[in-house]
Chains A and B, each alone.
Chain A
């Protein structure tokens, strides 16, 4: 009799364990929802993006490497002029150059904040950086339009709309991203590395560039790739200053277009189901795939850094 009671007590679920199960299912369902969303987006963009090649019978090779982008016109063989190379090229050039320019500034700022300045200076800089991250991209674009474009026009000539203006605007936009991630990377370098370097006779500067920076390389590379990926996906601000002319740019001043700028411009002006609309989906697919590539690179670098730093 008594044993039976004990058995009942033990097999009956307590309130706490019921709550535990409830929590588990709650978080699991959130996870599933997000999973479905991601899969749906991937499926949707890729299936629409592939329509260009399946239904509209566009040669993928000509799409990727063609240099003529006039989706409304056809060439003399009646093939639509949908060469996406100018935008792919524009996206890569502007992204890479802006990250290349931003990286040294970001790393320098990060070194100053973690290694050189006192706590108060670092705190002020920290809030400046957070402010920069929070500014909406349309504001950056607007400043680019009213300040950068005239500046480029007056200094270097041309219309002012073009690659250079795009690079400058993106440079400012990704600077805080790379900086704050570089700061994390530098802060993650164990304090003992610094003390060890000092105790062998390294000067503060030698400690920074021979030990701290070197140990933080994986983290800093991750920061740069994050910056790249942000720059690659940025649409609005770039579109406002880049000139939006889908041709391969001749020099830094020539107007150009990026994948994102063509997308934002065109997606509202085409009818769904038409070739003009389908090719935009193909551009979106390229963007999506590139983001995936960037993420893979970040993961790879991150893993390498973990292995190196597991003290």
Chain B
């Protein structure tokens, strides 16, 4: 079973100062496919997601313990190269946040950090990433324009392309459509469904319909605990735990 898992986390605990916010999460993710993390606000799902590419390192008050085995290697080992890690595990945030640069520069950003890549290859990989994010046709004629001139949904797909350009294995998304209107949100979802065929995608979402529509597997978080994880269909139709049932049927949350 662990063979085709790309990432396995064991007994993940996270502390804000003295306060424990995650109480021992055991969860693993397949090499391809979409895993949705759902749960009420403050359940720890975003916190958990951000720990996967060590974004909590930016905050000196946060301490993370437990094992994160990415292809068998512990992410939190002292000798982990954060640059390489974050190249392999990309992250997309809730707020569409292109840099105030051109579309091309945004997508090429991660590639240009590593100055070994030749210009031709950068061009190629920008195109590849934009096609994967299903935004190429929208922007191919205006790559030199400022990315802030695009619509919210387009911006978010540019961000996804920006993460894909470095060819990651895992893509983390923190409520990527909650700041978008429904139509833009759908366009991002469609891109994600396509990407789920080739990448391991982990998405935090408040929108249960979205989890139903796009996720293969769904994990339900509450109060810093992982309550239940199963095929998305089972979570919504045949939940095993009482809390999960209450949540997915809308009795709270």
A residues engaging B (CB < 8 A)? 190, 192-203, 206, 210-211, 214-215, 308-311
Contact = CB atoms under 8 A, between A and B. Distances in A.
B110 interface: yes
A190 B86 CA distance: 20
Interface string B59-88: 000000000000000000000001111110
B93 A195 contact: yes
Interface stretch (B23-31, B119-127, B158-166): B158-166
Interface of B is mostly: helix
Interface in B107-130: 109-110, 112-113
A200 B161 CA distance: 11
Nearest to B95: A192
Contact of B109 (A192, A200, A310): A200
A201 B99 contact: no
B97 A311 contact: yes
A197 B109 CA distance: 8
A199 B100 contact: no
8 contacts: A196-B97, A197-B109, A200-B90, A200-B113, A201-B84, A210-B109, A210-B112, A211-B99
Given A308-B146, A310-B148, A311-B95, A201 B110 contact: yes
Contacts of A190: 97
A190 B96 CA distance: 12
A215 B97 CA distance: 12
A113 B187 CA distance: 41
A192 B97 contact: yes
A199 B83 contact: no
Most buried by B among A192, A198, A199, A310: A199
B112 to A, nearest CB: 8
Contacts of A198: 55, 58, 86
B97 A200 contact: no
Contacts of A199: 53, 55, 86, 90-91, 93, 163
B16 interface: no
A275 to B, nearest CB: 54
A203 B84 CA distance: 10
B245 to A, nearest CB: 35
Contacts of A200: 86-87, 90-91, 109-110, 113, 162-163, 166
Interface of B: 53, 55, 58, 82-87, 90-91, 93, 95, 97, 99-101, 109-110, 112-113, 146, 148, 159, 162-163, 166
A201 B97 contact: no
A198 B82 CA distance: 9
B148 A201 contact: no
Given A210-B109, A308-B148, A309-B100, A201 B93 contact: no
A196 B86 contact: no
A203 B83 contact: yes
B225 to A, nearest CB: 26
A225 B125 CA distance: 40
Given A308-B100, A311-B148, A196 B93 contact: yes
A187 B201 CA distance: 33
A60 B159 CA distance: 58
Contacts of A214: 99-101
- Chain B CB count within 10 A is highest, among A198, A200, A214, for A200
Which of B84, B97, B146, B166 gathers most chain A CB within 10 Å?
A: B97
A276 to B, nearest CB: 53
Given A194-B58, A195-B91, A309-B100, 11 more contacts: A190-B97, A196-B99, A199-B86, A199-B90, A199-B163, A200-B166, A201-B83, A202-B110, A210-B109, A210-B112, A214-B99
A311 to B, nearest CB: 7
A203 B115 CA distance: 13
Contacts of A195: 55, 58, 91, 93
Contacts of B84: 201
Nearest to A194: B58
Query: Which of B58, B91, B113 counts the most chain A CB atoms within 10 A?
Result: B113
Nearest to A215: B100
